[in-house]
Amino acid sequence: MASRSRNTATDVQRYVLLPKRGLHSEALREPLASPQIFSSMMAARLDLQGVAKAAAQPEAAVKIVHSSAQSGPKLVELSDVAANALKASNAGVRLVPLVRYEIARSPRWQVLRPAAVRSKAAAAAAPGLKIKVVDTVSGKPVRGAMVVAFTNFAGQEGAQGTSNAKGEVTLQFTGASKTLDLLLIYGPAGYWGLCERARKIRNGDSVGIAPIDLAVPDFLATVYGGHPAEAGNGVRVGVIDTGVDGKHPDLTVLGGAAFVADENDAGGWGPAKEQGEHGTHVAGIIASRGRQPAGKPGVAPGVALYSYRVFPNAGGGATNYDILRAIEQGVQDQCDLLNLSLGGASPDEAVHDAIKEAYDKGTLCIVAAGNDGRQPVSYPAAWTESIAVSAAGRQGTFPANSSEALDIAPPAAATDEMLFIAQFSNVGPEIDLTGPGVGIVSTLPGGGYGVMSGTSMACPAAAGAAAALLAAQPKVLKMKRNRDRSTAMLAVINAAAKSQGFPKDLEGLGMLP
């Protein structure tokens, strides 16, 4: 959705200002150090002086909020009148609404309808049903576990809460016990979750969740655990995400930048204050150099890893303007592959043009298909120039009673009845590949490991596998950075993909080795 603010005279909306074709043009050239002159020139070109004067802001009919380059894309604010005039003009530019994309981690089930509305007096007399979340190995309390107790799963009725330092969580139920349709616990860093059906809970019960054991292979390790430490050597991979913790002992980040216009691009490529764990987890799937017993390797530990943070520290989505700038920087840094574990519903031209330009300059964009529950592939994965990745899982690679059990969905693979495409994964004719995306253990900020699911995880699994394949093709990597190079890299990737026996709309060409 476009960003809108209020002006004393008229509504003002934010757009990405682009040339009629591509991302750069002399039509966008801004006089050095003078966005006011550019704004005045645009106003004159569009015959908007009268509109600007009426707003008592003659220099701001077209206000530049941020500029990526002298002749490059710009984040601008325009009144509705100015926007309509520009669209009707022959100014050699176009306006693309500012939209936001979200990370492609699988959504968590939540209570939408409380089981009962209780008065303050009733709540004071009986404060609810208290349970304790504990470590199944040590018996110690677990803090930060999200407990979701459904009395009616279909109607998403029940109660939920997060465990405190004592492992305790109070659920707003009446009575000393409650029979649940489903008890879900999403574990904090270092723990698996829990999924129990038809569970009766009593006040004072202890419920255990299992700690992650790095010695036990998850689905990612089952498929790619045999890759050598030098896998991906000579290939550059950029992660466009929430930032990466370069201080993690198992991650080496060679460079990057922050692209968040609302923060003046400050703060660097490290993890964002909100949702910062996502980008670090994604990066570890690709390039972790960890070794057991304290660590876990990624698919291609030998790659040169770059981090481009596009999600703000305050949380919320990443704008198309910031994402296109990150893609441009990744191309400039000569990344061979760019991983975008993000998506949205809008068929946005700005990011599409950036992906097309990256392809024309020898860089492939691998993109998460989205997690809307077998809905159409989200954008930018749906664009032809993207490599769209769905999420697969395998029973037996996560605890049978973990929260990942809810991700199992038919049909089973023809090659292995334990394989499935996750119920949350988007699917459709745009899918190119599938990858491990259910119950994936990877790096987290602060030096630890945790489990996540989503096409966000399948995407870097495919990116890492693609990097390992390309590392074995030095002639392709040495090609001039143009469209032919991208086509040759894509041919290597597509030729290696192996069908798992799912319908094509679910797996595309299949999974990379």
| Main-chain phi, psi angles of 125, to 5 degrees | -70, -40
Q: Given this structure, which CATH class describes domain 219-507?
A: alpha beta
Gap between the Cα atoms of 441 and 212, Å rounded: 8
Question: In which band, very low, low, confident or very high, does the pLDDT at 7 lie, cut at 50, 70 and 90?
Answer: very low
According to DSSP H, which parts of 236-298 are helical? 276-287
Q: What is the total residue count of the chain?
A: 513
Where exactly does CATH 3.40.50.200 map onto the chain?
219-507
Question: In which band, very low, low, confident or very high, does the pLDDT at 32 lie, cut at 50, 70 and 90?
Answer: very low
pLDDT tens digits along 185-229: 999 999 999 999 999 999 999 999 999 999 999 999 999 999 999
Yes or no: say if 309 and 256 are a contact pair by the CB < 8 Å rule.
yes
pLDDT tens digits along 406-427: 999 999 999 999 999 999 999 9
Query: Does residue 31 have a pLDDT over 50?
Result: no
For position 97, what pLDDT does the model report? 95
Strand partners, 67: 74
Question: In whole angstroms, how far apart are CA 233 and each of 167, 394, 492?
Answer: 44, 29, 16
Question: In which band, very low, low, confident or very high, does the pLDDT at 59 lie, cut at 50, 70 and 90?
Answer: very low
SS3 for 141?
strand
Question: In which band, very low, low, confident or very high, does the pLDDT at 39 lie, cut at 50, 70 and 90?
Answer: low
Gap between the Cα atoms of 438 and 456, Å rounded: 10
Cβ count within 10 A of residue 2: 14
Tokens 């190995």 found at: 137
Q: Are strands 337-340 and 318-319 parallel, antiparallel or unpaired?
A: unpaired
pTM over 0.85: yes
Yes or no: say if 476 and 489 are a contact pair by the CB < 8 Å rule.
yes
Gap between the Cα atoms of 187 and 441, Å rounded: 12
Asked if the peptide bond before residue 380 counts as cis, ω within 30 degrees of 0, the response is: yes
Q: Are strands 342-343 and 364-368 parallel, antiparallel or unpaired?
A: unpaired
Residues forming the active site: 241, 278, 456
Sign of CA dihedral 246, 247, 250, 254: positive
The amino acid present at 424, given as its one-letter code, is: F
Between 137 and 25, name the one with better pLDDT. 137
Gap between the Cα atoms of 255 and 265, Å rounded: 15
What is the per-residue DSSP string for 197-232? Answer: ES-EEETT-EEEEPBP-TTS--HHHHHHTT--TTTT
pLDDT tens digits along 242-280: 999 999 999 999 999 999 999 999 999 999 999 999 999
Tokens 């050597």 found at: 233
Cβ count within 10 A of residue 252: 15
Query: Does residue 38 have a pLDDT over 50?
Result: yes
Q: What number is the average pLDDT over the span 271-292?
A: 96
pLDDT tens digits along 429-482: 999 999 999 999 999 999 999 999 999 999 999 999 999 999 999 999 999 999
Tokens 């645009």 found at: 42
Gap between the Cα atoms of 264 and 262, Å rounded: 6
Mean pLDDT of the chain: 91
The amino acid present at 452, given as its one-letter code, is: M
Question: In which band, very low, low, confident or very high, does the pLDDT at 111 lie, cut at 50, 70 and 90?
Answer: very high
Question: In which band, very low, low, confident or very high, does the pLDDT at 512 lie, cut at 50, 70 and 90?
Answer: very high
For position 80, what pLDDT does the model report? 84
Question: In whole angstroms, how far apart are CA 241 and each of 98, 365, 460?
Answer: 18, 13, 11
Where exactly does CATH 2.60.40.1120 map onto the chain?
113-209
Fold of the CATH domain 113-209? Immunoglobulin-like (2.60.40)
Strand partners, 158: 114, 150
Yes or no: say if 260 and 312 are a contact pair by the CB < 8 Å rule.
yes
